[in-house]
Every structure is written in C-alpha cells, then in structure tokens.
Amino acid sequence: MSRDALQDPDLHRRRRQRLLDELGDGLLLLPTAAETLRNGDVHHEFRPGSDFQYLTGFPEPEAILAAWRTAKGRHRAILFVRPRDPAREIWDGKRHGLIGAKKAFGVDEAREFGAFWRDLPELLAAHDRLFHRLGAYANFDRRLLDCCKGVAFRHRRRQPPQHPTITDPGPAIAGQRARKDAQELAGLRAAAAATAAGHVAAMREATPGMHEYEVQAVLEAEFRRHGSPRNGYPSIVASGANACVLHYHENDRLMRRGDLLLIDAGAEVGGLTADVTRTFPISGRFSPAQAAVYRAVLRAQLAGIRACKVGATWDAAHRTCIRWLTKGLVELGVLHGRIDALIAKGAFRPWYMHGTTHWLGRDVHDVGAYEDARGRAERLRAGEVLTVEPGLYFGRRDRKVPAELRGIGVRIEDDILITAAGPEVLTAAVPKSVREVEAACQSASPF
Ligand code: GLY
Ligand code: MN
Ligand code: MN
C-alpha cells in the first residue's frame, strides 16, 4: 500500500467540512495529479496533489473528490477511484479499490474512476455553483467545460440557459492550509528531524575527492532512515562556485580541498516538507574569507528569524536581512557608503538577488497569500510556517569584490513556526554557528 496513504477519516472529514462551510453551497471537484511518463516505460514518481492529499489522504493516481454541503455541519463526499484489478495489481501493486477507499478514507461513497464523466452531468445539474480550480489539468478542464455546456443545453428552457457558476476554491483551501493543524505540525517536525539527520551526516561524510552526488546519496539515505519516503524538492548539493547558482541541480562536480559545500535539501514526511540550507567547509575549517562571509549571512539570518513575530508583516525578515547583509557587504569591503542610502538604491542586489522567506508546508513554496486584496503585506499569524534564508553569492569572475571573496556562495535557511510566544525554529537541530558547523564537519563517522 502506498507510503502516502494517511488514513485518518475524521481528520479529512473535518477539513472538508470546514472548507465547504466556507465555500457555501455548491459542488466541489478536486482531481489529483496524474501519472506522467518520464521516458520509455518509466513514469515519474507519483505524488498526490497537495490540496487533494490535504482533503482526502488518498494516495493513488486517477482519483477525483466530489463533495458538497448538505446542511450546516454535514456534507457528502464521493471519491472516484481505480477499481481493484488483480491482473494489474500484479504489476503495479495493491489498490484500495472502492470498498477499501470508502472504509479507509471516510468518504460516504466510492465509485469507479471510469464512471466520473458518466455521473458528472447529474452532479452538476443538482448545483448552481461549481468549485473547481481551472488550469491544473488541461484535459480535465476541457471535458468539464464540455459537460457544463451540456448541462446548460439541457436547461435551455430556463432563461437564460445556465451552466453552474465556476468559482476557484484555491484561495479558500490555501487559507485553510496556511495555518498548520496538529497532523501537519507533527509532519513538519518529523520532516525537520529527518532533514537535520541528513545534513549532519553530509557534514560528517563530505571530503575532498568526493563528487557532489556522493554527498547527496549520504544525505538522502539518512532522510530515508528517518522515515522520509522522498524529498520535498530536488536536493541542491553545490560545491565551490556552484553555490552561486541558486537552483543548481547537476550535483556532479568533484570536490576539492578548501571548498565550501552548500546543501539546500529537505525531507518530506506525511506529505509535509522541510527546507533547509547549510554551507560548510568540506576540509573541516572555514578559511578566514569564508568565515567572514558566513558570519555576515548568519548574523542576518538570526536577526531575520527574530523579526518573525505574530503581527509583523510576512516580509519583515526580508527587510531585516537586507539591512544586515548590506552592513556585511560594507564590512567585507564590497560596498561603501551609508547603509540607508545603499539599501534605498538596492546596492546589495548583485550579491543578494532572491527573497528571504516563503510559506512552507505540503509544498516547499507553499500556498498562502502574501498580500491582501488591497496589496498590503499579510501579517504573520500563529500556526503559520515560513523559511528564513538569506545568502551572499560572489561569482568566480566578479571583479567588483575583493579577490579572496570570489567563488564563495553562502546561504543559511531554517524553517520557522510562528507562535504567540515568538518564532520557533523547527530546524534548530541542524548545526549553524561556525563552531557547531566545524565540529560537525570534523566529527568521526560512526561506521
Ligand atoms: N529549496 C528552495 C528554496 O529554498 O526556496
Ligand atoms: Mn526555501
Ligand atoms: Mn531551500
């Protein structure tokens, strides 16, 4: 049975009810992601879409949730799923089937996936509003719109002929997912623990003469050993100047003495992912120039984390980090002038070109609004989780910086839970101070 199954019928029923109460009367349709071909007979690994996972816990491809509110506090949910198929299951593994899906995932009814398009007109005809997010699955959208047209045609005696009004449920689902519930916080904590173990193992095992992908294997083996079936996103294992490529993914360079290694990697557990970056010296000690850059980024990151308070705007950490990074760039001899004037003209941008925070959860760049309808920055609320990830990146041929800084890229990233008592660093177990990082790099392998 799939490692993504989360069989907690009450939890998913409660989530659906809350969503439908917010949306009001109408039919919610939510298909999951489809399997996609990678090459030949090989598929990309399947992982349910995050909204679908959040509202059903059902782990298989080719599934659709249809749900609607029946009365305040009640709703009806139908899950369309693949039927049992002993011949197919010999090849692809066990399916829940209709009986299993109804029993394990707390829906009122399970029907065959193949019956969905046959049953849809009747479901649509019973509702004036349709809650469906257009744009995720083009084929599904096309068939759904055809079906809506057919429903309007059959109702042509009404003036004017009507198909249901289509409303995007995305913002309501995002609003609900933004503040993590107990199951999600447990997943995030477990993901953080697995991620910490992986980063510590990478610090311990990385040495000159290894390829980046060998360190990736050590890191991800540790994620798996700690209960993580997959990563939340592809690991970035970037040594030397590769650290200056923000989403570096080749991971194939042979590492050399004196290199820094930047690893941005997060384990996924229970559908939730961590997102952690550490930068460390594979020979065990930072050079003076590397340590100076590292300390400038660390100081910014610690100040950024402190800014993550209930009621602060979501980008308070970004503004704080920019101030400290600009100060750091002056101290490193890269920038010259008054801090406020340098910030006002964005003088830091050649060396700090990305944002500092994003929401984190089921998706590494999780759902959640950054602005309200009037364009004002959202304010942080208890239960939200975001990253704080400043960095400084000096390209190998950057003639605008002192020679000893060239080729150094440093990012430090942690995952922060907003609480009434202040920011809680979920990933605090990953070594971070210069002393902790050097000690982890110099520690002996337990094997
Ligand atoms: N790992 C992607 C990011 O930090 O945003
Ligand atoms: Mn991130
Ligand atoms: Mn990251």
pLDDT in tens, 118-168: 999 999 989 989 999 999 999 999 999 999 888 776 665 665 657 889 999
CB of 389 closer than 6 angstroms to any ligand 1 atom: yes
For the stretch 328-337, contacts whose Cβ atoms lie closer than 8 Å and that sit 24 or more positions apart, written own/partner, are 328/293, 328/295, 328/296, 328/297, 328/299, 328/300, 328/392, 329/296, 329/392, 331/292, 331/296, 332/292, 332/293, 332/296, 332/401, 332/402, 332/405, 333/401, 333/402, 334/394, 334/400, 334/401, 334/402, 334/405
pLDDT given at position 34: 82
pLDDT given at position 447: 64
CATH fold of 9-176 reads Creatine Amidinohydrolase; Chain A, domain 1 (3.40.350)
Distance 420 CA to ligand 3 centre (A): 25
Q: Where in the chain is the domain with CATH 3.40.350.10?
A: 9-176
Cβ density class 213-222: b for 16+ within 10 Å, e for less: ebbbbbbbeb
Which residue, among 199, 196, 203, has the nearest Cα to 443 in the 3D structure? 203
pLDDT given at position 161: 59
Q: Where in the chain is the domain with CATH 3.90.230.10?
A: 179-442
CB of 364 closer than 6 angstroms to any ligand 1 atom: yes
Catalytic option among 212, 315, 389, 398: 389
Task: Report how far apart, in Å, the C-alpha atoms of 34 and of each of 47, 91, 136, 180 are.
Answer: 9, 18, 10, 26
> Given ligand 1 and candidates 216, 231, 277, which is best to mutate, with the most ligand atoms within 8 Å of its CB?
277
CB of 414 closer than 6 angstroms to any ligand 1 atom: no
- CA–CA separation, 426 and 417 (whole Å): 7
C-beta separation of 44 from 36 below 8 A: yes
Asked if 389 is an active-site residue, the reply is yes
For residue 141, what are the contacts with CB-CB under 8 A and spacing of at least 6? 134, 135
Asked if 358 is an active-site residue, the reply is yes
Catalytic option among 205, 358, 362, 366: 358
**Nearest bound ligand to CA 360?**
2
pLDDT given at position 3: 66
- CA–CA separation, 281 and 259 (whole Å): 6
Residues lower than pLDDT 70 in the chain: 1-5, 153-161, 446-447
pLDDT given at position 1: 43
Task: Report how far apart, in Å, the C-alpha atoms of 102 and of each of 9, 77, 88, 357 are.
Answer: 9, 10, 21, 39
pLDDT given at position 5: 63
**Domain 179-442: top CATH class:** alpha beta
Catalytic option among 10, 41, 45, 122: 41
